[in-house]
Structure 1
Amino acid sequence: MPGTSTGASTGTSTGASSGASVGAEGPGTATASAALVAYDAEFAEAPLYLNHASYGPPSRAVERTVHELVAAAVRGAPAGDLHAEDDRARAVIARLTGTAPERVALTTSTSQGLLQTAFGLRGEVLVSLDEFPANVYPWRRAEEAGRLRLRALPSSGVEPAPVTPERVADALTPAVSALAVSAVDFRTGYRADLAALREVIGPDRLLVVDGIQGFGATDTDWSPSDVLAVGGQKWLRSGWGTGFLAFSERGLAAVAPALGSWAGVLDPVDYDGLPHPARPDAGRHAITSLSPFATGALASGLELLERTGAALVAERVADAASRLIDAVDAAGLPLLSPREPQRRAGIVVAGFPDGGAPGMHARLAAAGVTATLHGPTRIRFSPHATTTADAIARLAELLARET
């Protein structure tokens, strides 16, 4: 699957920007600047909202789409017209991932996509137990059901440890048939080297990628992956109940539709009580008809990313993360995220080795900052392309004052 689209167009949008975002000049072109102005105008989250790794407030484009679709449903619009949103979503996913529309399956979440993948595979899957649970439980459940075997990536002695090509190479055995990994680690923001992991596992093993913390936040080449699972509620800012699976040709052939149901077969409305063959495309993984409100929201969120330019949005996110790292450094707090731009995404984690994270989190929340508390020693910040320089400066003041 070739990499994300980097094309940009100016488009039009409504609403007012909440201030100049970090890196608002982009690469210095008039087209990019106009695209970013239009992009900013689509969002209205609170200025100190720094929690996109948990949930990204949707755009006005998503809001408009959902309202229009609900209004059409209230009027009794034909179901076929409403479910045309499925095709719209698959088309833009294909453009942004570089795969073909027939190798895209729509899901309700990353979790659903990974669960369907796990139950559709055989053999032995290598996975780090430091992964987000959505990329651990599916493999456990599939193993319990006798579908496959889970092989835990051995500990490196440092927790949580990034999944590196070296660790994977040391853990490979002839029995391993697939590697499951997050494109971006949810705890630290570490960005996996998908190309290097692909090279290490070789051409005969599958690479299954949980892309939710990277897609929409990074300019990534997704082509090394055989299965890419992404939810739309975080960096894609499309709301809950949205997601997709994008397959390589080999990935689609390897993942059986073990959890596919009536919606994933040929002639699904031929109610003859007989088993029907699975569809030949990624639609074989469909369980039931999805909500057109959700698929329309996903399509609108992705089309906004496409219009603006995935690379341009990723550049904004990277610049915001760099400034946030400076704020953490200035406050004298340990940085628990990678510093190297090529190894990080939009997640910046500040450490509180004395266990003071809950108190700091409460004080920041009282000042209007939205971030994620991870236990007694960590606070995770995750700015987006719409995060303003003023917002990060304000956070820096709060961190410096409270530490």
Structure 2
Amino acid sequence: MAHPRGTGDDGGLPGYAEHFDAAAGYLDFARYGPPSRAVLAATADALGRSARADQDTVNDLMRADLRARQAAAGLAGTDAGHTVLLPNASTGLFQAAFGIPAGTVLVPAADFPANHYPWRRAAAAGLAVPRWLPGPPTPEAVRDALTDDVVALSLSAVDFRTGYRADLAALRDVIGPDRLLVVDAMQAFGVAELPWQAVDVLVTGGQKWLRASWSTGFAALSDRALERLAPTLTGWTGVDDVALFDDVEHPAAADAGRLSITNLSPVAAAAFAAALELVAQVGVAAIEARVRTLVDQLIEAVRDHGGEILSATDPARRAGIVSFRLPGIAPATVAKALHAHAITPTVRHDSLRLSPHASTPPSTVSTLHAALGSLR
């Protein structure tokens, strides 16, 4: 059942929840973030306009690209020229992997597979080679792994399993100015304030915490990345004079547009812009503070019922993910009890994951207590 609006159950972020229709017990934002009414409206409007197309429609719809890039750049602390829209985070990671021509790239061995396969494929093509880091990518672990052949570090800003928040500023200091820092911000962007300016290649998709739905995302490149990444995968829309069809190869664009392979959906761009603008309107700091409170409350609830917390124990290194298991009870059994109380977790074979958003009402914590208590 969707949480009724206008009840005052907003958790200290007045009005934010009223932008959404997600069920109160939905705690799976680390997998997918149900979009806002504004995103739905932007999608319907753009698609509706495309169905009634005339001589101006396509050009008008394409303007959503700049609007979305400006909104993304504002949240990333950069500008639209250093930002390019992408259909997903993986496209940006492949661009980075195939743009680094040689050397070793440090990659956490337990990172999400989206940050593994680009480097595996690049190595198979004779380009950069990954070196797998055991354990969390702490500054100390990265410092110990550094050798002269290391040209980049690629990692997730927030770990998808545990919610471990990487110390990006310290990692930047450790690797120094001569190496690239590539960051998959899928589990962090828009819900955690991090020093994005320390990153050389920042990529994210919009379907999770940004709540823009699928086929949305962007990359932001530093000047250092623009200088060093080869345009190996640059497509016809990533070059100079893109509208000049003269049957010759054009130079790659000087800005982040060089990561473009082809035109993206202006419908998706309009949806992405609406989602990003709502985040900017509310403020990442306010969203993060609300999520932090909910995470603390969810952890306390799980522990009250004998659960083992698998997420980071240090609040400074913890983001919006609570991973846990109940000793002696199969995750599938726990999930069944949660579902019976209209709680939606991520269910893994060995654990469960709870990921609330700022729109999650405080009453959901009480519902979790009831669901876990039913297992007794």
Normalised to the residue count of structure 1, the TM-score between the two structures is 0.89
Bigger mean CA deviation after superposition, 348-357 or 255-264 = 348-357
1:164 to 106, 123, 138: 138
Q: Which amino acid aligns with 2:44?
A: H
1:340 is displaced (CA, Å) by 2.4
1:293 to 254, 258, 267: 267
Q: Which amino acid aligns with 1:63?
A: L
The CA deviation string for residues 119-147 of structure 1, in whole angstroms up to 9 with x for no partner, is 11122111012000001111101111112
Does residue 1:400 correspond to 2:376, yes or no?
no
Q: Distance in 1 between matches of 2:322 and 2:10?
A: 15
1:293 is displaced (CA, Å) by 1.0
Q: Distance in 2 between matches of 1:58 and 1:254?
A: 36
Does residue 1:85 correspond to 2:58, yes or no?
no
Q: Distance in 2 between matches of 1:119 and 1:247?
A: 15
Kept after mapping to 2: 8 A contact 1:39/1:304: no
Kept after mapping to 1: 8 A contact 2:216/2:268: yes
**Kindly tell me: are residues 21 and 280 of structure 1, through their superposed partners in 2, closer, same or farther at Cα, counting changes over 3 Å?**
farther
1:210 to 171, 184, 192: 184
Which residue of structure 2 aligns with residue 3 of structure 1? Answer: none
Does residue 1:365 correspond to 2:339, yes or no?
yes
Q: Which amino acid aligns with 1:104?
A: T
Kept after mapping to 1: 8 A contact 2:17/2:360: no
Does residue 1:349 correspond to 2:332, yes or no?
no
Which residue of structure 2 aligns with residue 95 of structure 1? Answer: 74
Does residue 1:219 correspond to 2:196, yes or no?
no
Which residue of structure 1 aligns with residue 120 of structure 2? Answer: 140
Kept after mapping to 2: 8 A contact 1:21/1:386: no
The CA deviation string for residues 175-212 of structure 1, in whole angstroms up to 9 with x for no partner, is 00000011100000111111111111111111101101
Q: Distance in 2 between matches of 1:54 and 1:197?
A: 26
Where 2:121 maps in the other structure, the secondary structure is: helix
After TM superposition, the structure 1 = structure 2 runs for residues 28-107 of structure 1, keeping only pairs within 5 Å, are 36-77=13-54, 78-107=57-86
How high is the sequence identity, in percent, across the aligned residues?
46
Bigger mean CA deviation after superposition, 79-88 or 220-229 = 220-229
Q: Distance in 1 between matches of 2:212 and 2:159?
A: 21
After TM superposition, the structure 1 = structure 2 runs for residues 186-335 of structure 1, keeping only pairs within 5 Å, are 186-335=160-309
Show structure 1 runs of 5+ residues with no match: 1-14, 25-35, 156-160
Kept after mapping to 1: 8 A contact 2:306/2:326: no
Q: Distance in 2 between matches of 1:150 and 1:315?
A: 36
Q: Distance in 2 between matches of 1:18 and 1:73?
A: 35
Kept after mapping to 1: 8 A contact 2:10/2:16: no
Kept after mapping to 2: 8 A contact 1:22/1:319: no
Q: Distance in 2 between matches of 1:213 and 1:149?
A: 25
**Kindly tell me: are residues 138 and 20 of structure 1, through their superposed partners in 2, closer, same or farther at Cα, counting changes over 3 Å?**
farther
Q: Distance in 1 between matches of 2:278 and 2:7?
A: 19
Does residue 1:117 correspond to 2:91, yes or no?
no
**Kindly tell me: are residues 118 and 18 of structure 1, through their superposed partners in 2, closer, same or farther at Cα, counting changes over 3 Å?**
farther
Q: Which amino acid aligns with 2:34?
A: P
Q: Distance in 1 between matches of 2:308 and 2:236?
A: 52
Kept after mapping to 1: 8 A contact 2:122/2:128: yes
**Kindly tell me: are residues 17 and 308 of structure 1, through their superposed partners in 2, closer, same or farther at Cα, counting changes over 3 Å?**
same
**Kindly tell me: are residues 278 and 48 of structure 1, through their superposed partners in 2, closer, same or farther at Cα, counting changes over 3 Å?**
same
Q: Distance in 2 between matches of 1:355 and 1:402?
A: 9
Kept after mapping to 2: 8 A contact 1:257/1:284: yes
Q: Distance in 2 between matches of 1:227 and 1:151?
A: 19
1:67 is displaced (CA, Å) by 0.7
The structure 1 segments of at least 4 consecutive aligned residues displaced by more than 6 Å after TM superposition are none
Kept after mapping to 1: 8 A contact 2:100/2:128: yes
**Kindly tell me: are residues 256 and 141 of structure 1, through their superposed partners in 2, closer, same or farther at Cα, counting changes over 3 Å?**
same
Q: Distance in 2 between matches of 1:148 and 1:262?
A: 24
Show structure 2 runs of 5+ residues with no match: none
Q: Which amino acid aligns with 2:105?
A: V
The CA deviation string for residues 192-234 of structure 1, in whole angstroms up to 9 with x for no partner, is 1111111111111111011010111212221211111111000
Q: Distance in 1 between matches of 2:225 and 2:78?
A: 12
Kept after mapping to 1: 8 A contact 2:183/2:202: yes
**Kindly tell me: are residues 344 and 148 of structure 1, through their superposed partners in 2, closer, same or farther at Cα, counting changes over 3 Å?**
same
The CA deviation string for residues 238-293 of structure 1, in whole angstroms up to 9 with x for no partner, is 00000000111112222222111101111222222211111111111111110011
Q: Distance in 2 between matches of 1:399 and 1:46?
A: 19
Does residue 1:185 correspond to 2:159, yes or no?
yes
How many residue pairs get aligned? The number is 371
Q: Distance in 2 between matches of 1:364 and 1:23?
A: 22
Q: Distance in 1 between matches of 2:111 and 2:15?
A: 36
